[in-house]
Structure 1
Amino acid sequence: MEDNFAELLELCAEQDQRAFKKLYQEASPKLYSLALRLLQKPELAEDVLQEAFIKIWQKAGTYNSQKGKAFTWMATVTRNTSLDKLRSLKLKAAETNVQYEGLDFASDDLEPDHQEDLSQEMQRLRECLKQLQPAQRECILLSYYYGHTHQELSVKLNKPLGTVKAWIRRGLESLKPCLS
């Protein structure tokens, strides 16, 4: 499936509308789940999904398979678009509790073949996150998954801004080789 996403992105970069339609059909359920998890409102998630796919279409040529998987790239576009929407509306991403029970951001209604790819990636991410110090893990999840800024984390955790930034930077540096 992942190779298919990469191939479809390459065709989208060449303005192939049929490839874009197929990419949308195959990737939109997972990307919608991600947007819905962050936004908690179906109408906002639908708007963000549309915006994200416009960006994916326009920027498909910037995808580099050497830097990561095609779905991860599209999920990042969707996540960033969701967070931009939250910031523009001055809202916060939905937080459950510090246990991060929502780390499986995709809903259970995905097609089984899509879910298996995501489950493997999420399992690898979980294993890598377990290797981090608790403070690093918490900061990374609150920042990247829930959309908190470094300043907000500093206040929320009652830690100096430099400490929060260092925890995130070092945590990401530790995650990089684990996820490669």
Structure 2
Amino acid sequence: MQQDASEGAAIVAHGLHEKNAYFAGLLRRIAKHDASAFEALYRASARSLFGLALRVTRTTESAEEVVQDGFIKIWRFAGTYDPTLASPSTWMSAIVKNQALDYLRRNAYSGFYVEDIDEHIAPVEADDDFSQQFSVDAERLSFYLGRLTPVQRQAIALAYFRGQSQSEIAYALDAPIGTVKSWISRGLDSLRSMIDSRPAPHPGGSC
């Protein structure tokens, strides 16, 4: 049994080595603007990179955009890849992950969060910290959230509508925990101020 396990591990290691060598060769060709090599690399790796992007962004549409932008960077920076520092898959994954985090920062309040708000906030009686703090309907709350800064909206959405911890939010947004705490605290303070001082928006989004 031990011999079979060792042989199996050796086969897997050999396959991984061959895959890395193949990808590294494609990257060297891509650095010379070889379009066929780029197409081959895309076919071989896009699926796994899409899975990574989807885990970060949570939506198919955003993950597709992230992967497309990631491959543009792979094409542009293939010549910088150093096999002594990381495997090709690790290098490409880092590019796509950074692209996904950039996407979250650029699109801090997407329609996906509006759906989250409708689900969690509309029932005012829901036993939820956020609904207890802000007993307003989903449309009003969406309007007020839209007036926060992008990072405040993102941090609050991740904390209250996805239930992520501050450390998880800090990782997702690539920011210190202290900064995340500040975004959430100031965002909540701004929401309270707006809800207390502004009338409900009319249909169509205007006050």
- 1:39 aligns to 2:63 (yes or no): no
Distance 1:75 1:50 in 2: 13
Distance in 2 of aligned mates of 1:154 and 1:96 = 14
Matched, 1:75 2:93: yes
> Shift in Å at residue 148 of structure 1?
3.9
Counterpart of 1:147 in structure 2 is: 173
TM-score (norm 1): 0.56
Partner of 2:69: 51
Give the drift of 1:149: 0.7
Given that residues 50 and 67 in structure 2 are in contact (C-alpha distance below 8 angstroms), is that contact kept between their aligned partners in structure 1? yes
Asked whether the equivalents of residues 49 and 96 of structure 2 are also in contact (C-alpha less than 8 Å), the reply is yes
Contact 2:28 2:79 in 1 (8 A): yes
Query: Partners of 2:180 and 2:31 in 1: how far apart?
Result: 40
Structure 2 residue aligned with 1:86:
104
CA distance in 1, matches of 2:93, 2:163: 21
Q: Which has the larger radius of gyration?
A: 2
Q: Please give the alpha-carbon distance, in whole angstroms, between the structure 1 residues aligned to 2:174 and 2:72.
A: 25
Q: Deviations over 1:100-136 (max 9, x none)?
A: xxxxxxxxxxxxxxxxxxxxxxxxxxxxxxxxxxxxx
CA distance in structure 2 between the partners assigned to 1:37 and 1:152 by the alignment = 24
Q: 1 or 2 for the larger relative contact order (CA 8 Å, sep ≥6)? A: 1
Distance 1:96 1:74 in 2: 29
Q: Rate the CA distance shift 1:5–1:86 in 2: closer, same or farther, 3 A.
A: same
**Partner secondary structure for residue 74 of structure 2:** helix
Number of matched residues? Answer: 115
Residue 103 of structure 2 aligns to which amino acid in structure 1?
Answer: K
Quote the RMSD (CA, aligned, Å): 2.5
Which whole-Å CA distance do the structure 2 matches of 1:152 and 1:34 have between them? Answer: 27
Helix, strand or coil at the partner of 1:14: coil
State the match for 1:104 in structure 2: none
Shift of 1:3: 1.4
Q: Which runs of 4+ in 1 moved over 2 A?
A: 91-98, 141-144, 151-156
Mapped partners of 1:69, 1:18: distance in 2 = 21
Residue type of the alignment partner of 2:55: R
Cα distance, 1:155 vs. partner? Answer: 2.6
Residue of structure 2 in register with 1:60 after alignment: 78
The alpha carbon displacement at 1:154 in A equals 6.3
Secondary structure at the counterpart of residue 50 of structure 1: helix
Q: In the aligned structure 1, how far is the partner of 2:67 from the partner of 2:103? A: 11
The offset of 1:150, in angstroms, is 0.9
SS in structure 2 at match of 1:24: helix
Structure 1, unmatched stretches of 5+, are: 99-137, 157-180
Distance 2:163 2:42 in 1: 29
Structure 1 residues 65, 96: CA separation in 2 closer, same or farther (over 3 Å shift)? Answer: farther
